[in-house]
Amino acid sequence: MGKLLRREKVAELVGNLHKEGKTVVTTNGCFDILHVGHVRYLQKTKSFADVLVVLLNSDKSVRSIKGPERPVNNENDRAEILCALSCVDYVVLFDEDSPRNLLDEIKPDVYTKGADYTMETLPEADIMKKNNIKVEFISFVEGKSTTNIINQINKH
């Protein structure tokens, strides 16, 4: 089995990892133009558990969230790049705007989100509480974002 998982297989995989005594951390995102902020965020996320499963927004999901001009890179390219990172153990694509349903199916031990969220503003907070999933908020690298990169390219 490679790093890229079909959605219907990820809950089974996580269940098996739990049976082996491993802890699982998840995070989600578009990861459209991978940059140092993403890499540091994913490295920090991996530090919270044995196995990191990245829940990757599909092209359909990214367009719904970010608009018709996004993503810049298609889901297959974004998934391949994430799979190439040593800190990422698995990647699974999802079509919804939010990973709520997938998180409820997977039941990871830890879920990370950017520090611009709090438990009060986290859309998945009820899923975290229901499944006793620990949430860690990770600070961003100042000035590093896909939007900033796109804006810089558009200036030139």
| Structural domain contains residue 37 | yes
| Structural domain contains residue 140 | yes
The pLDDT value recorded for residue 139 is: 85
pLDDT at 153 over 80: no
What's the pLDDT tens digit per position in 74-132? 999 999 999 999 999 999 999 999 999 999 999 999 999 998 899 999 999 999 999 99
Residue 120's contacts (CB-CB under 8 Å, 6 or more residues apart) are none
Q: Which residue has the higher pLDDT, 56 or 156?
A: 56
Count of domains forming the chain: 1
| Structural domain contains residue 61 | yes
| Structural domain contains residue 78 | yes
Cα–Cα nearest to 55, from 22, 10, 2: 10
- Contact in structure between 95 and 58 (CB atoms under 8 Å): yes
| Structural domain contains residue 156 | no
| Structural domain contains residue 111 | no
pLDDT at 48 over 60: yes
The pLDDT value recorded for residue 151 is: 64
pLDDT band of residue 148 (cuts 50, 70, 90) is low
Residue 54 sits in a domain of what CATH number? Answer: 3.40.50.620
* Element counts in the chain: helices (H) and strands (E): 7, 6
| Structural domain contains residue 54 | yes
pLDDT at 69 over 80: yes
The pLDDT value recorded for residue 67 is: 87
Look at the pTM and tell me if it is higher than 0.75: yes
Cα–Cα nearest to 76, from 96, 97, 54, 91: 91
Say what the alpha-carbon torsion angle 156, 82, 38, 55 is, to the nearest 10 degrees. 120
| Structural domain contains residue 108 | no
For residue 52, the enclosing domain spans 4-12+21-99+116-150
Q: What is the mean pLDDT of residues 17-29?
A: 97
- Select the highest-mean-pLDDT range: 50-54, 64-68, 121-125, 136-140: 50-54
SS3 content of the chain, % helix, strand, coil (to 5): 40, 20, 40
